[in-house]
Amino acid sequence: MSLDPVFTPAPERHVLMKALANRSFLIGLVVTGVIALMALVSFFWTPHDITRLQVAARMQGLSPAHPFGTDHMGRDILSMIMIGARNSIAVAIVAVGIGMGLGVPLGTWAAARGGWADEALMRVNDVVFAFPALLTAVMITAIFGPGAVNAIIAIGIFNVPVFARIARAGALSLWPREFILAARASGKGKALITIEHILPNIVSLLLVQGTIQFALGILAEAGLSYLGLGAQPPMPSWGRMLFEAQTRMAVAPHLALFPGLAIVVTVLGLNLLGDGLRDVLDPRLRRER
């Protein structure tokens, strides 16, 4: 059994069957799906309008009208969480997108090019990794002004070297493989080989890392929002809801409970999905002895 990090894939139909039989994957898929659905529905409908504040109805407990209660501005917490999911997912997706969009071309290019390009990329990676991620994200948002866009950039920047590194490692382990040599013997250039042979074979690797970074992105966004550096009102965000709940925890603990649970459930769902994907796509980790 080879030890290279690239997965030996099974045929596509097979993968789907295996995936649906995998418990982690299934639970993760369902949980993530529910959260995503919630975010989608919130575009068209939420239980209550949260743009018009009803301060008089503030901090109400759980009731049929407000299943999760109301916050300190009298807004319906369930509606806030639904719209907040939108924000969390958008920030995390775009941040992962930035990471993949820049990191994967960089990493595969470095692996194909080798030599100084590879060395340069790795050194740049060293510099980025030497900066404490969360703190730098705080600095970026503080410098350029708090807001969802800057939060995305701040989180996205740190995804770039992660994906560059993974894509490079995956590509490097593939380049000496015989099927790549065969392609080279067929006169294909590095760019074409990267597109035809390298990318399809590291896609599952990237997918798994993608779900992990997605989950980390949600946590990071929550952290930044908690510090007041994420999405700004009136756009609700889970992190800021927690921050606002903190002073009121003794009076209205449900203010902190539900946004916190929303984060935990979403991240848990994504992690399960990632674990499941890994199990399904990487038979190496499944071998028993």
Partner 1 sequence: MTAYLAKRLAVGLATLFVASLVVFSVLEILPGDPARIMLGMNASPEALDALRSQMGLDRPVVLRYLDWLTGMATGDFGRSYTYSSPVVELVAERVAVSLPLAVMALTLSTAIAIPVGIFAAARRGRLSDTLAMGAAQVGVAIPNFWFAMLLVYVFAVGFRLLPAGGFPGWGEGWGGLWQGFKALLLPAVSLALPQAAILARVTRSAMLEVLGEDYIRTARAKGLPRRAVLWRHALRNALIPVLTILGLQFAFLLAGTIIIENVFYLPGLGRLIFQAISQRDLIVVEGVVMLLVASIIVVNLLVDICYAVADPRLRTGR
Partner 2 sequence: MSLLEIENLSLTIGEAPILKDIDLSISAGEVMGLVGESGSGKSMTALTVMKLLPHAARAKGRVVFDGIDIVAAPEAAMCRLRGDDIGMVFQEPMTALNPVKTIGEQVAEGIRWHTGANRPDAEARARAMLERVGLPEKQFPLTRYPHELSGGQRQRVVIAIACALKPKLLIADEPTTALDVVLQAQILDLLRDLVDENRMSLLLISHDLAVVTEMADRTTIMRHGQVMEAGETARTLTEKVHPYTRRLAEASTHVPERAKPADSGPGETLLNVEGVTRDYPIRRASLFSTQHSFRAVDDVSFSLARGQSMALVGRSGCGKSTLARMILALDRPTGGSIRFEGERLENKSEGELRPARRHMQVVFQDPYGSFNPRHKVERLVAEPLHLLDEKPDRARRRELVAEALEEVGLSAADMEKYPHEFSGGQRQRISIARAVITRPKLIVADEPVSALDVSIRAQILDLFADLNRRLKVAYLVITHDLTVARAITDRVMVMHEGKIVEEGDTNTVFDRPETETAKALVAAAPDLDRALRMRLARVSGG
Partner 3 sequence: MKTFATMLGAAAVLLASGSAALSARTDLVVGVVLEPPHLDPTAGAAAAIDEIVYANVFEGLTRIGPSGEVEPALAESWEVSDDGLTYTFKLREGVTFHDGTTFEAADVKFSLDRARAEDSTNAQKVLFSAIESVEAFDPTTVKITLRHPQGALPYNLGWGDAVIVAPESADANKEKPIGTGPFKFDNWAKGSSVTISKYADYWGEPVALEKAEFRFIPDAAASVPALLSGDVHTFPNLQAGDALPQIEADPRFEVVIGATEGETILATNNGKAPFDNLMVRQAIAHALDRDEIILGASAGNGVPIGSHFSPANAANIDLTDTYPHDVEKAKALLAEAGYPDGFSATLKLPPPPYARQGGEIVASQLREIGIELEIIPVEWAQWLEQVFTNKDYDLTIVSHTEPNDINIYAREGYYFNYDNPAFDAVMEELGATSDPAKRKELFGTAQRILAEDAVNGFLFQLPKTGVWDAKLEGMWENTPIQANDLTKVRWVE
Contacts with partner 3 by CB under 8 A lie at 51-53, 55-56, 58-59, 72-74, 142, 145-146, 228, 232-234, 243, 246-252
**Least distance in angstroms from the C-beta of 285 to partner 1:** 7
User: With respect to partner 2, which residue has the nearer C-beta, 34 or 203?
Assistant: 203
Shortest separation between residue 155's beta carbon and partner 3, angstroms: 19
End-to-end distance of the chain based on CA atoms, in angstroms? 13
| Under rule CB under 8 A, residue 10 binds partner 2 | yes
Site for partner 1 in 188-247 (CB under 8 A): 215, 219, 222-223, 226-227, 239, 242, 246
DSSP secondary structure, the chain, as one string: ----SS--PPPHHHHHHHHHH-HHHHHHHHHHHHHHHHHHHHHH--SS--SS--GGGTT----SSSTT-B-TTS-BHHHHHHHHHHHHHHHHHHHHHHHHHHHHHHHHHHHHH-HHHHHHHHHHHHHHHHS-HHHHHHHHHHHH-SSHHHHHHHHHHHHHHHHHHHHHHHHHHHTTSHHHHHHHHTT--HHHHIIIIIHHHHHHHHHHHHHHHHHHHHHHHHHHHHTT-SSPTTS--HHHHHHHHHTTTTT-THHHHHHHHHHHHHHHHHHHHHHHHHHHH-GGGG---
Tokens coding 212: 């992990």
Provide the phi-psi class of 59: left if phi over 0, else alpha when psi is between -120 and 50, else beta: left
Interface with partner 2 (CB under 8 A), residue from 18, 72, 188, 248: 188
149 binds, among partner 3, partner 2, partner 1, none (CB under 5 to 8 A by kind): none
Is residue 81 involved in binding partner 1 (CB under 8 A)? no
Tell the smallest beta-carbon distance from residue 39 to partner 3 (Å).
Answer: 22
- Candidates 258, 212, 250; CA nearest to 62 is 258
Does residue 132 belong to the site contacting partner 1 (CB under 8 A)? yes
Output 57 or 227, the one with its CB closest to partner 1.
227
At its nearest, how many Å lie between partner 2 and the CB of residue 203? Answer: 9
Question: Does residue 16 bind partner 2 (CB under 8 A)?
Answer: no
Smallest separation (angstroms) from partner 1 to the CB of 142: 5
Task: Please tell me whether residue 169 binds partner 1 under the rule CB under 8 A.
Answer: no
Residue of the chain from 64, 178, 233, 250 that contacts partner 2 (CB under 8 A): 178
Site string for partner 2, 78-117 (x = CB under 8 A): ----------------------------------------
Give the interface size with partner 1 as a residue count (CB under 8 A).
40
Given the rule CB under 8 A, which residues bind partner 2? 8-11, 177-179, 181-189, 196-197, 200-201, 288-289
